[in-house]
Amino acid sequence: MTERKLTSTNYQNQAFLEERCALNELLYFLSKRWMTDVLFSIEEGNTRFTLLKENLEHISDHILADRLRALEQHQLIQKSYLPGNPPRTEYALTPKGNRLSEMLDGLCGFASLELEL
């Protein structure tokens, strides 16, 4: 858990909910702006930073870099370095990221068919 003061009621409530069910922590992580969009964009084949920026045209460089770092830290994506001049990096979903993406696709389908959102 980050981004909240340790003494705040919101932090304490979030900690309580995360202890009750890991899904609460996952939903908090995924609800950050652009997080699922970055994950889905990589799944669609946008494997480089510039391709992600083009696909997600309103995302800032700072937020994109932050979301990529967070997804990598949670082992949902893998960053690979490609030789060349200049060297390049590519991102790909890990098996864990693929499983999550499949579940999120199902939730998106449920939301569009069953909920009036």
pTM tops 0.85: no
pLDDT at 43 over 90: yes
Can you give the pLDDT at residue 15? 74
Per-residue pLDDT tens over the stretch 73-86: 999 999 999 998 98
Instruction: Give the domain ranges of the chain.
Output: 1-31, 35-114
For domain 35-114, the CATH class is mainly alpha
Per-residue pLDDT tens over the stretch 57-78: 999 999 999 999 999 999 999 9
How many CB atoms sit inside 10 A of residue 71's CB?
A: 23
Give CA–CA dist 11/14, Å, rounded: 5
For residue 90 the two structure tokens come to: 């590519």
